[in-house]
Amino acid sequence: MKIHKEGFGIIFMTVVICSIIETLVLFFGLNSWANLSLITLSLIPLGIFVLVVQFFRLPSRKNNYEDGIVLCPADGKVVVIEEVEETEYFNDRRIQISIFMSPLNVHANFNPVSGVVQYAKYHPGKFLVAWHPKSSIDNERTTFVTKTASGKEVLFRQIAGALARRICYYVKSGQNVEGGQEFGFIKFGSRIDLFLPLDANISVQLNQKVKGQLTKIADL
């Protein structure tokens, strides 16, 4: 396991802030270590540091991508599986699968399929909680469409949550990408939506916990 590059600056600032807090606690309570509340207070910065570091962890995993499948783009829980009207790119009916990532999940995002990126667009927006039905169209988000070698197109969307304030992505229109490779990161709570063809054979269930690069979402 390693620390994601998006976390270096935030982890550094966390260390600085936590060190200041610990110094103040020691200074004002040097002769009061028997005070249980003071001891508890001194542990809070350590807890914050641990939470921030675990958020930016990037575990080493075997990439389970195979041609013809849709691979899970993120760790989290499946919160939506339904047929919807997709209005940004396809303007037709698609199967939407949404994966909610809590602050405790790995937040790196991975390409669900191999192919050529046909569409890439960033949308500024609100910061509703990521499981809110309107977060898919109202929140800060990015939308990507990748066409596979067989001609199938898959749309996937990063959506910022209530705690998230920055979406990072590393692909652009016209770029060749490989399934299971990292394409982005969302900081502090988020969601990913997938929009698949109606004839896709779905492999996951509602409320199922899934892992990026490992779980098969569907067969195209």
Residue 10 phi/psi, 5-degree rounding, is -65, -40
**Where does 56-153 have alpha helices with state H?**
135-138
State what percent of residues in the chain have pLDDT above 70: 70
Closest among 127, 124, 126, 102 to 188, alpha carbons compared: 102
**Which pLDDT does position 111 carry in this prediction?**
97
Catalytic residues: 190
**Which pLDDT does position 173 carry in this prediction?**
95
Count Cβ atoms within 10 A of the Cβ of residue 31 and give its class: 0-12 exposed, 13-18 middle, 19 or more buried: exposed
- State mean pLDDT over 180-205: 90
**Model pTM score:** 0.77
User: Does residue 51 or residue 136 have the better pLDDT?
Assistant: 51
* Cα 44 to Cα 166: distance, rounded to the nearest angstrom: 25
Q: Token pair of 93, please?
A: 């009916």
Q: In sequence order, which residues have a C-beta less than 8 Å from that of residue 125 and are 6 or more positions away?
A: 138, 139, 140, 141, 160
Domain ranges of the chain: 2-58, 69-219
Closest among 208, 198, 14, 9 to 92, alpha carbons compared: 198
pLDDT band at 63 (very low <50, low <70, confident <90, very high): very high
**Which pLDDT does position 39 carry in this prediction?**
61
* Cα 87 to Cα 107: distance, rounded to the nearest angstrom: 26
**Which pLDDT does position 22 carry in this prediction?**
67
Q: pLDDT (tens digit, 9 = 90+) per residue, 12-47?
A: 777 777 677 767 666 665 555 555 566 666 677 776
**Which pLDDT does position 157 carry in this prediction?**
94
Closest among 162, 192, 158, 189 to 78, alpha carbons compared: 192
**Which pLDDT does position 61 carry in this prediction?**
86
Q: pLDDT (tens digit, 9 = 90+) per residue, 96-117?
A: 999 998 878 888 899 999 999 9
Q: pLDDT (tens digit, 9 = 90+) per residue, 161-183?
A: 655 557 889 999 999 999 999 99
Mean of all residue pLDDT scores within the chain: 82
**Could you tell me which CATH number the domain at 69-219 has?**
2.70.70.10
Do you know the residue count of the chain? 220
Q: 46-55, 167-176, 189-198: which has the minimum mean pLDDT?
A: 46-55
Q: In the predicted model, is pLDDT for residue 129 greater than 60?
A: no
